[in-house]
């Protein structure tokens, strides 16, 4: 569980850096409100990525880890897709600040890091299938 907390923190730090850079880039077109929109989208992606990592970390067996990774994919895609649908159809102030594009940027970059961390988390908790005791000759 400690490893999962470490990976969640790594994901958060990565997304904070992405939020700063993407907010600065988006502010050129949308104004200073893009910084807030970038922070909101980074927080949303961090929350779903953290939940996905937590689901994988809590799986007790190798078969359960595979199912947990699939459930994590559903969690990771669900909320961002709903947010994209909402913001593209609404007159929300964040939509005017470019949150739709920022969600896509944060999602894709966060997906890369979260997938790598999830694979490491799965392989770190894997149990060997064969007992490694030496055979006497």
pLDDT of residue 41: 94
Nearest alpha-carbon partner for 8 in 114, 132, 115, 130: 114
DSSP annotation of 61: S
28-86 pLDDT per residue, tens = 999 898 999 999 999 999 999 999 999 988 888 877 887 888 888 888 898 889 988 99
CA distance 34 to 132: 55
pTM reported for the whole predicted model: 0.82
Q: What is the mean pLDDT of the chain?
A: 86
CA distance 116 to 111: 8
Contact (CB, 8 A) for 33 and 79: no
Q: Token pair 């929300």 is at which residue?
A: 92
DSSP annotation of 59: -
The HSE-up count of residue 135 (CA atoms within 13 Å, CB side) is: 3
Q: Of residues 104 and 2, which shows the higher confidence score? A: 104
CA 55 from centre of chain = 12
> 40-54, 69-83, 94-108, 123-137: which range is least confident on average?
123-137
Q: Which phi and psi (to 5°) does residue 88 adopt?
A: -75, -25
């Amino acid at each position: 569980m400690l490893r999962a907390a470490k990976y969640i923190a790594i994901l958060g730090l990565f997304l904070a850096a992405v939020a700063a850079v993407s907010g600065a880039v988006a502010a050129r077109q949308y104004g200073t409100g893009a910084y807030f929109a970038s922070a909101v989208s980074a927080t949303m992606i961090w929350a779903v990525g953290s939940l996905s990592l937590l689901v994988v970390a809590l799986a007790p067996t190798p078969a359960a880890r595979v199912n947990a990774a699939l459930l994590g994919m559903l969690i990771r895609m669900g909320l961002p897709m709903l947010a994209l649908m909402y913001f593209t159809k609404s007159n929300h102030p964040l939509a005017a600040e470019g949150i739709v594009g920022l969600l896509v940027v944060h999602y894709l970059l966060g997906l890369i890091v979260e997938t790598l961390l999830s694979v490491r988390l799965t392989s770190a908790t894997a149990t060997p299938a064969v007992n490694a005791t030496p055979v006497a000759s």
